[in-house]
A and B are shown apart, each in its own frame.
Chain A
Amino acid sequence: MIKINLPTDEETIRALHIGDEVLLTGTIVTARDTAHKYMVTEKPNDLAPLLKDSVIYHCGPIVSHEGGKWSMVCAGPTTSIREEPFEAEVIKMYGVRGVIGKGGMGPKTLAACKEFGAVYFHTAGGCAASLAQTMEEVLDVKKLEFGTPEAFWVVRVKDFPCLVTMDSHGQSLHDMVEKKSRAVLEELIKS
Chain B
Amino acid sequence: MDPKTLQTNLLELIRRSSTDMPPDIEVAIRAGYRREEKGTPAKSVFKSMLDSIELSRRKSIALCQDTGSLVWNIYYPDGSEILPVTKAIENAIAEATDKTWLRPNAVDIVTGKNSGNNLGAGSPILHFHPWKKKNWEFSMMNKGGGCENCGIQYKLPDSRLGAGRDLDGVYKCVLDAVFQAQGKGCAPGIPCVGIGGNRDSGMECAKNQIYRKLDDINPDQILAKLEKKLYQDCNKLGIGPMGYGGKTTVLGVKIGTLHRLPACYFVSIAYMCWSDRRGNMTISGNKVTYSN
Q: Which residues of A come within 8 Å of B, CB atoms? A: 19, 21, 34, 59-64, 73-76, 78-79, 81, 102-104, 122, 124-133, 146-150, 161, 163, 165, 173-174, 176-178, 180-182, 184-185, 188-189
Q: In the bound complex, do residue A129 and residue B55 qualify as a contact, i.e. CB atoms below 8 Å apart? A: yes
**Which size class do B's interface residues fall under?**
35 or more
Q: A74-B100, A75-B65, A177-B182 are in contact. Are A124 and B237 (CB under 8 A)?
A: no
The contact of B105 among A74, A103, A149, by CB within 8 Å, is A149
Q: In the bound complex, do residue A185 and residue B175 qualify as a contact, i.e. CB atoms below 8 Å apart? A: yes
| A–B Cβ pairs within 8 angstroms, 21 of them | A60-B66, A62-B65, A73-B61, A74-B62, A74-B63, A79-B146, A79-B149, A79-B185, A102-B183, A102-B184, A103-B184, A104-B182, A122-B244, A124-B48, A126-B63, A128-B63, A128-B66, A130-B48, A147-B116, A163-B244, A177-B245
Q: A177-B239, A188-B233 are in contact. Are A126 and B52 (CB under 8 A)?
A: yes
Q: B157: shortest Cβ distance to chain A, in Å?
A: 14
Interface string of B75-109 (1 = CB under 8 A from A): 00000000000000000000000001011110100
> How far apart sit A62 and B68, CA to CA, in the bound complex (Å)?
12
> How far apart sit A104 and B183, CA to CA, in the bound complex (Å)?
8
Q: A124-B45, A180-B238, A185-B179 are in contact. Are A129 and B104 (CB under 8 A)?
A: no
Residues of A within 8 A of B245 (CB): 173, 176-177, 180
Q: In the bound complex, do residue B244 and residue A149 qualify as a contact, i.e. CB atoms below 8 Å apart? A: no
Q: In the bound complex, do residue A148 and residue B104 qualify as a contact, i.e. CB atoms below 8 Å apart? A: yes
Which residue on chain A has the smallest CB distance to residue B184? A103
Q: In the bound complex, do residue A76 and residue B48 qualify as a contact, i.e. CB atoms below 8 Å apart? A: no
Residues of A within 8 A of B56 (CB): 129
Interface centre among A34, A129, A147 (most CB of B within 10 A): A129
Q: In the bound complex, do residue A188 and residue B175 qualify as a contact, i.e. CB atoms below 8 Å apart? A: yes
Contacting A at CB under 8 A, from B169-183, are: 171-172, 175-176, 179, 182-183
Q: Is B275 an interface residue (CB 8 A)?
A: yes
Q: In the bound complex, do residue B179 and residue A126 qualify as a contact, i.e. CB atoms below 8 Å apart? A: no
> How far apart sit A41 and B59, CA to CA, in the bound complex (Å)?
41
Q: A133-B55, A177-B245 are in contact. Are A189 and B162 (CB under 8 A)?
A: yes
Q: A103-B243, A177-B240 are in contact. Are A150 and B114 (CB under 8 A)?
A: yes
Main SS class of interface, B: loop
> How far apart sit A27 and B233, CA to CA, in the bound complex (Å)?
43
What's the count of A-B pairs with C-beta under 8 Å?
Answer: 163
The contact of B184 among A60, A79, A146, by CB within 8 Å, is A79
Q: Is B6 an interface residue (CB 8 A)?
A: no
Q: In the bound complex, do residue B64 and residue A126 qualify as a contact, i.e. CB atoms below 8 Å apart? A: yes
> How far apart sit A161 and B242, CA to CA, in the bound complex (Å)?
14
Q: A39: shortest Cβ distance to chain B, in Å?
A: 16
Residues of B within 8 A of A189 (CB): 161-163, 171-172, 175-176
Q: B21: shortest Cβ distance to chain A, in Å?
A: 10
Residues of A within 8 A of B236 (CB): 184, 188
The contact of B62 among A60, A128, A174, by CB within 8 Å, is A128
Which residue on chain A has the smallest CB distance to residue B29? A126
Q: In the bound complex, do residue A185 and residue B176 qualify as a contact, i.e. CB atoms below 8 Å apart? A: yes
Which residue on chain A has the smallest CB distance to residue B172? A189
What 17 additional pairs, Cβ within 8 angstroms, besides A60-B103, A189-B172? A61-B103, A64-B100, A74-B63, A78-B66, A103-B183, A124-B242, A125-B242, A126-B273, A127-B48, A129-B56, A130-B51, A130-B55, A147-B116, A161-B48, A174-B182, A177-B240, A185-B176
Q: A79-B146, A122-B242, A180-B238 are in contact. Are A129 and B172 (CB under 8 A)?
A: no
